[in-house]
Each structure stands twice: as C-alpha cells, then as structure tokens.
Structure 1
Amino acid sequence: MSSSTRKPAPRKRASRTPLLVCAGVAVAAITLGLVSWQASSSRDGSRDTTASAAGSTPRAEDPLAELKALARREAGDKLALGRPDAPVVLVEYSDFKCGYCGKFARDTEPALVKKYVDAGTLRIEWRNFPIFGADSEAAAKAAWAAGQQDRFAAFHAAAYADGAKEKGFGEERLVELAREAGVPDLERFRRDTAGPQAAEALRRDQEEGYRIGVSSTPSFLVGGQPLAGAQPLAAFEAAISRAAAAAGK
C-alpha cells in the first residue's frame, strides 16, 4: 500500500457504528459482494483493465489474485494457526463484540481446526477488525498482547465464550480474560496492550480490511474468495474444498 494513500483514521471509522453491522450473511454479502463481482467480471472479460494510479496507462486487473495475496503466511504470526505453506488460507476479519463472530468462533471454527488445520490443509489468519468503538479496540489490542505470549487462541476462545461480551471489555475484565487464557506474565500483558506495537498491529489489520471493502463482521477470505457472515459449517467446507482443488490438493 502506497505511503501516500490517505486512509480515514480507524477511530473515525469505528465511530460510525450505526452504519456498521455485526453481520450474519446479508450485510456482509453486500460488503464483499462488490469485490466478488469485480473478480467475476475480470474472469469473463467484461472488466479486464483499469487506469493506473497516474490515470494514464491501463493495466491488467485480477482482483481474486490480489485478495489471495492478502494471506500473509508469516511463520512468526502470533494471530495465525496452521502451517504457513498450507494449501488454503482462511483470513477472518472479526470483532470481539460481534455476536455472529462469537457464534462462528464457538460453533464452526473448532470443527475447521480439527478437520482441516490439524490435517495441514488450512491455515487460519485472524485480523482484528473492531467496529463497535473503544471496547472493541481495547479487546483487539488485548488479543494481540496475549498472542505475544503465545496465548492468542486461548484468549480468543475466552473472549468469544457464550456470554463473555455482555461483561464488557474494560481493563480489568481484559486482565481477567488473559488470566483465564493462561497468559503467564500479566504485567507484560498490560504493557503490551497499551503499547504502540499493539496499536500499529491493529491499524495494519483495519487498513487492510477497509481497503478491500470490509465494513461488517465476520467477513472472510477463503483462498482469496470472499465468504460473508457466520454461515453454516457446510458453506466453509465447500469453500475450502474448492480452494484446495484450485491449489491442486
């Protein structure tokens, strides 16, 4: 992303919560539907060029390839689960205050881990994408901080447990969740949560999501293909199977 590209400040974006929806299927489908439509148009040749940044020379466009390239595959990524070289990467944009995100985390994600991550087929990369204000942002930074002590997945499970979000994500509640997740050094957790690296990691995730049009949670990319909302397990299984087949696996 060019350093000259101006992006709205994340807090401004998050303040527009009446317009942002913790989506099931419908609104998230609208959110990523434009990207999916652009990709389909490129494949059938009806939309195969776009102006360059300078506005002069057209260039070939492949939105699906661009979305697939968002998989970071960083070996040291603390907010990822699965092999960096897994054939399929599922990128998840989520908010800890989002009820549908919690539903996905409790009802669907464990089955995907057991069936695909443990088998080496799937890698899950989480993106913190808080859209419900200060509490959401605080929880996102705390999740990142827990990850620095290799407890992101456990914190993720605790924060998405049934009824957890109703207790809020104030400072002491976040420490309680960290303790529940087995974070060994709680003082470091407090420092990391409030530190500049957590803020920068959050900014990186948010800017990525906004750049591709995410404005509701949960939103997913499965092998670069948009998948909207907390859909049934079968929808994710089908998407993973298609992506694995496309990867020759």
Structure 2
Amino acid sequence: MPTPKNTTTSFPRKPLLYGTVVVLAAGLLGFASYRATAPDGSPRNTGSAPAAEVSADPGAGVYPELAKLARRDADDRLATGRTDAPVVLIEYADFKCGYCGKFARDTEPELVEEYVKDGTLRIEWRNFPIFGEESETAARAAWAAGQQDRFWEFHRAAYAEGAKEKGFGKDRVRVLADEAGVEDLDRFMKDLDGPAARDAVTKDQEQAYGIGATSTPSFLINGRPIAGAQPKETFTEAIEAAAEQARATTTGNAGNGARDAAE
C-alpha cells in the first residue's frame, strides 16, 4: 500500500501491545487512515460518504482492550471532561498535521459544546509526533504548557489557521506559549527540554504504535477506532452509540445488583 503523500511518514512496525484482538483494530486504523488521506488518484473519501463508517450497532467495531487505554486521570493536564464520563475519546495527533488542525478547528469545538459540557464525553490527548524534529518540539511544548494548565490554550494557538506554516522551532513555540497565556515562560522552556516531557511524549507515541496507528489523527471512542479528520457526523454517531452502550451496561448492572440484593 503506498504511503499517502504529505500526510504520513513510514515508521518501523513495533509490536502490538494489547493482545491479538488489536491486530484487527490496527488493520482498520491503517486502512481508514489511507482512505481518509490517500493522494489524488487513489481510493479515498470523496466527500459523498465518510471514509470511516460507523455502525448503528453500539457494539460493532468496538475492542474492549482498546477501551482500557482511557486513563480517566483527574491529574491529566492534557484532557478535558469528567473523569466519569460514559464516553472517552482518545486522540493521537501531531501539531504539524494539517488534518489534525482541521479536526481541532472544525469538529472538536462542537463536540466539546455538545458532549463534553453535558458530561457525556471526555477527550484525552495523546502526543503522536510523526513529522520529525519540529513535531517532537511541538509535542513537548504542548506537554510543558499543560504543566501550567494551559495545554488547551496552546493546542488552540498551535492549530490556528497559518500556525503550522510558521513552524515549531524553539523560538516559535515560546511565542505560542505566550499567546496561550503560559505565565512562566522560562519554566516552560526548561520543561519542554526536560526528561519528564520526553518521557511523556514517548509514552504516548508507544501507545499509538502499539495499537497500529500509522497516521494522524487517529482516534479511539470507547475502544472503537476511527482514523482521519472525518465529518462531524462520524464522531457524533460513534459517541452516541458509545453513550447508549454505556447506559445499557449501567442499567444492566444496576438490575443485576437489585436482583442479587433481593435474593
């Protein structure tokens, strides 16, 4: 399969970390990524239908082992939404990725308004830099901004129209941090070059490789893989199906508990 032009970079395939079932999810991510970002003349999403179709069946395409990757950590500075939200969207992305920027500008804010604010959805970011040194710098910078509770502000500044074209060198990420309202810029610069930032980014990278992600953006919604900057409707359908499944599970567990108590 050819590598999509200007959208992804080839990497050594690393071992899948989460069991044999993940091989199927990895194949889905790889194919959907290619369909979503293929060069002209190749099979791709033409706009007439989403490249990643989501079944109305809440359980279709869901891998329980992947659902376990949600951290639900109250101290996670790179996440937004309730830790007990019934649905968790994990995003693996790169700040130099144009498709990631499209999702960040066009789709994510609407998902926040509709689902994060009402407690249905939690979004957890994973740094997945795949475009070289500047991608790595931007990823560590985002983590460093998060240490001063300005990750999402940095995220917004880095994905603003035209930001990617200015690059993500050291001087540039400092400017972005200032735009994001990072208070202590000297600490920010120290943090982004520190071992904690490098370890955090590597951990996220390894997780992405481990599930077979080969391009950005890649997503998991309660264990359902979705690849590419799909139309909003794709995410809406997946989130609502996952929320329905979570409600059904909760209701079933409550019913079982009541029956156990009665016995």
TM tier relative to shorter chain:
0.7 to 0.9
Corresponding residue number in structure 2 for 1:163: 162
> Which runs of structure 2 are paired with 1:70-85 in the superposition (5 Å)?
70-85=69-84
Letter matched to residue 202 of structure 1 = V
Corresponding residue number in structure 1 for 2:10: 19
Mark the CA change 1:197 to 1:87 in structure 2 (over 3 Å): closer, same or farther.
same
Q: CA–CA distance in 2 between the matches of 1:24 and 1:149?
A: 38
Q: CA–CA distance in 1 between the matches of 2:192 and 2:9?
A: 27
Kindly state the Cα deviation for residue 65 of structure 1 after the two structures are TM-superposed: 1.1
Q: CA–CA distance in 1 between the matches of 2:35 and 2:190?
A: 34
Kindly state the Cα deviation for residue 237 of structure 1 after the two structures are TM-superposed: 0.4
Contact 2:9-2:131 at 8 Å conserved across structures: no
Q: TM-score normalised to the size of structure 2?
A: 0.73
Letter matched to residue 81 of structure 1 = T
Q: CA–CA distance in 1 between the matches of 2:154 and 2:31?
A: 23
Q: CA–CA distance in 1 between the matches of 2:227 and 2:216?
A: 8
Contact 2:79-2:122 at 8 Å conserved across structures: yes
Gaps of 5+ in 2: 1-7, 12-29, 38-51, 53-58, 249-263
Q: TM-score normalised to the size of structure 1?
A: 0.77
Q: Does structure 1 residue 212 correspond to structure 2 residue 219?
A: no
Corresponding residue number in structure 1 for 2:200: 201
SS in 1 for 2:63: helix
Gaps of 5+ in 1: 1-16, 31-35, 37-42, 45-62
Kindly state the Cα deviation for residue 228 of structure 1 after the two structures are TM-superposed: 1.2
Corresponding residue number in structure 1 for 2:129: 130
Residue deviations 1:26-45 (CA, integer Å, cap 9, x gap): 41779xxxxx9xxxxxx99x
SS in 2 for 1:247: helix
Aligned length: 203
Letter matched to residue 122 of structure 2 = R
Mark the CA change 1:26 to 1:98 in structure 2 (over 3 Å): closer, same or farther.
same
Letter matched to residue 215 of structure 1 = T
> Which runs of structure 2 are paired with 1:91-106 in the superposition (5 Å)?
91-106=90-105
Q: CA–CA distance in 2 between the matches of 1:169 and 1:88?
A: 32
Q: Does structure 1 residue 239 correspond to structure 2 residue 238?
A: yes
Mark the CA change 1:92 to 1:236 in structure 2 (over 3 Å): closer, same or farther.
same
Kindly state the Cα deviation for residue 19 of structure 1 after the two structures are TM-superposed: 2.9
Q: Does structure 1 residue 178 correspond to structure 2 residue 185?
A: no
Mark the CA change 1:227 to 1:18 in structure 2 (over 3 Å): closer, same or farther.
closer
SS in 1 for 2:89: strand
Q: Does structure 1 residue 227 correspond to structure 2 residue 218?
A: no
Kindly state the Cα deviation for residue 144 of structure 1 after the two structures are TM-superposed: 0.1
Q: CA–CA distance in 2 between the matches of 1:29 and 1:213?
A: 16
Q: CA–CA distance in 1 between the matches of 2:241 and 2:93?
A: 23
Q: Does structure 1 residue 189 correspond to structure 2 residue 196?
A: no
Residue deviations 1:140-179 (CA, integer Å, cap 9, x gap): 0000000000000000000000110000001010000000
Kindly state the Cα deviation for residue 215 of structure 1 after the two structures are TM-superposed: 1.0
Contact 1:29-1:227 at 8 Å conserved across structures: no
Mark the CA change 1:18 to 1:149 in structure 2 (over 3 Å): closer, same or farther.
closer
Q: CA–CA distance in 2 between the matches of 1:221 and 1:203?
A: 19
Letter matched to residue 10 of structure 2 = L
Contact 1:28-1:216 at 8 Å conserved across structures: no
SS in 2 for 1:205: helix
